[in-house]
Amino acid sequence: MEERREGAPERTPAAEKTEKNHEPSGDVISIVVPVYNGEACLMRCIRSLQEQSYPNLDIVLVDDGSRDKSLEICRAAAEKDARIQVIHKENGGVASARNAGIAAARGRWLMLIDGDDYIHRDMAADLLTAAKKSGAQAAVCGFERVFADGAPVEVHALNGKVWEGDLHRFGEEMFLPLYRNLMLRTQSNKLYDMEIIRRKELFYPEGFSINEDIWFCVRYLSFCRRVVCIPGSYLYYWQNSPGDSQISRYHPEGVESCFLLLRAVEGFFKRAGCSEQVRRAMENEMLFHICGFAGHIYYRTDSSRKECLESVRSLAGRKEFRRLLRQVKPKGVKNRAAAFLLGHRMCRVYHWMCLVVYGRQRMALRRKMKLCRKG
C-alpha cells in the first residue's frame, strides 16, 4: 500500500498517463540507495521506489557492510523485482557506497535516496517531466523532515510556480534561497543527468562525514546549462528528533569539509558569472558555518581546554580563513564578535567566550550521559 502524507503533491496528468501504460518506456532513471544497518526503515524506502508511477527504473541498493538483516532485505526485494540490483561491499562510509552505486548505475538519469528516507510515488515522474520540458540538466523539488518522536513536520519547499532558468539566473536568484532553505544541502531531492556525471567523472569525496552532499551538488550544478525547481515536497527525510542531525554533531573533519565546500562554491559562482553581492552573501553563510563547526569541539565531553584552544589557533592562522575574513562583513553580534577576535588572533579571548557559550550545553550533555550509564 502506498504511503501518503497529508499535504503531498497532487498527481500530475503526465504521471497518471505513465502509470496506466505500465510498460517501461523512455529514459531509465537509476536510483542509488546506500544501506547500512537500516533494517528498521529499509523496506519502507524500497517500497516507495517500487511503487513509483514512472516504472522505467534501475534501483541500485548498495549494502555497505551491514551487520543486521539489511542485505537479506535487499536480496529478497531483488528476487521479486528485476529492476533492482544489489551491491554488497565492505564498510567504507556513505560516500563510498554512493560512489559504488553511481559507478554501477545504468540509467540516463540519476536519483540518490538514503535508506531511511522514502519518496512520493510521483517524484521520479514529475522531476523527469520538468527536466525534459525545460531542457534542464538538474531538477530540484522540496522535502519534508519527518521526525520519529512525533515532532511537527518541517516543510522545505518552493512556494508558487515552477522556476526555471540558465546557470547565471539560478546563481543570482535561487542559489542562496535554496541553500538557506536546506533544499540545496541534501542530494535526495534532485534529478541528475548521468551524462554530466560520467563526462566530468563526478564522485563523492570520501573521508568526510559532513558536507559531502552539498559539495557533490554544487560541483554538479557548476556544469549544468539550465536548472528547474518544482513546487511541492516529494521527499520524506526521516530523523529521530529535531536535534538529531549531522550538523549538530561533532565531526573532526567538519572545518576541513567547509573549506572544501567553499572552494566548490567559489568555482560555481565563477562559472555562473554571479554578482559580487551574491558572492559576498554566500561567503557570509560559509563564515558562519566554519565558525560553527570550529565551535563543535566544545560540545565534546572528552576534549580538554588545551585541545579546544589549539583548534581555535589552527583556524585563525589558516590563509583561506583569513582571506574570507577580509572579504566578508559578518552579520549578527556573534558572527561579528567571532570575526573580530579570530581576525586579530585573539584566540584566548575567543576560547573563553566559547567556553561560556557552550559550557551549559556541555554540562547538560555530561549529565545526560551519566543518567544513561545509570539506566
The Cα–Cα gap between 61 and 104 comes to 10
**Model confidence pLDDT, tens digit, residues 100-135:** 999 999 999 999 999 999 999 999 999 999 999 999
**Residues 118, 47 share a domain:** yes
Question: Does residue 247 lie within any of the structural domains?
Answer: no
- The C-alpha cell of 34 is what? 546506500
Residue 361 reports pLDDT greater than 70: no
Dihedral angle of Cα 16, 238, 294, 211, to the nearest 10 degrees: -30
The mean pLDDT value for 87-96 works out to 96
Q: Are 138 and 192 in contact (CB under 8 A)?
A: yes
Question: Does residue 304 lie within any of the structural domains?
Answer: yes
**Residues 278, 228 share a domain:** no
* Residue at which a domain ends, from 218, 239, 260: 239
In terms of pLDDT, which residue wins out, 175 or 1? Answer: 175
Beta pairing class for 190-193 and 138-147: antiparallel
Residue 93 reports pLDDT greater than 50: yes
pLDDT at 137: 98
Residue type, 200: K
Stretch among 80-89, 195-204, 209-218, 330-339 having the lowest mean pLDDT: 330-339
**Residues 71, 177 share a domain:** yes
pLDDT at 281: 92
Question: Does residue 55 lie within any of the structural domains?
Answer: yes
Question: Does residue 2 lie within any of the structural domains?
Answer: no
Beta pairing class for 84-89 and 163-166: unpaired
Q: From 212, 64, 52, select the one nearest 127 (Cα to Cα).
A: 52
**Residues 146, 200 share a domain:** yes
The Cα–Cα gap between 234 and 3 comes to 12
Percentage of the chain beyond pLDDT 90 is 56
Residue 360 reports pLDDT greater than 70: no
- The C-alpha cell of 58 is what? 534501475
Beta pairing class for 163-166 and 190-193: unpaired
pLDDT at 305: 79
The mean pLDDT value for 140-165 works out to 90
pLDDT at 155: 92
pLDDT at 122: 98
**Model confidence pLDDT, tens digit, residues 34-49:** 999 999 999 999 999 9
Question: Does residue 161 lie within any of the structural domains?
Answer: yes
**Model confidence pLDDT, tens digit, residues 307-321:** 888 888 888 888 999
**Residues 139, 96 share a domain:** yes
pLDDT at 5: 41
pLDDT at 247: 43
- Residue 161 lies in domain: 13-239
**Residues 292, 212 share a domain:** no
| 273 Cβ contact list (under 8 Å, min separation 6) | 168, 171
Exposure string of 236-266, with b = 16+ CB inside 10 Å and e = fewer, is: bbbbeeeeeeeeeeebeebbbbbbbbbebbe
* Residue at which a domain ends, from 188, 215, 239: 239
**Residues 181, 71 share a domain:** yes
Stretch among 45-54, 159-168, 241-250, 256-265 having the lowest mean pLDDT: 241-250
In terms of pLDDT, which residue wins out, 12 or 355? Answer: 355
**Model confidence pLDDT, tens digit, residues 198-251:** 999 999 998 776 788 999 999 999 999 999 999 999 999 998 755 444 444 545
Indicate whether this model's pTM tops 0.85.
Answer: no
Question: Does residue 52 lie within any of the structural domains?
Answer: yes
**Residues 189, 290 share a domain:** no
Q: What CATH number did the domain enclosing 223 receive?
A: 3.90.550.10
Give the mean pLDDT of the chain.
Answer: 85
Confidence of residue 18 (pLDDT cuts 50, 70, 90): very low
Tally of domains in the chain: 2
**Residues 291, 369 share a domain:** yes
**Residues 286, 235 share a domain:** no
Question: Does residue 251 lie within any of the structural domains?
Answer: no
**Residues 201, 108 share a domain:** yes
Question: Does residue 127 lie within any of the structural domains?
Answer: yes
Residue 366 reports pLDDT greater than 80: no
- The C-alpha cell of 294 is what? 570550529
**Residues 291, 217 share a domain:** no
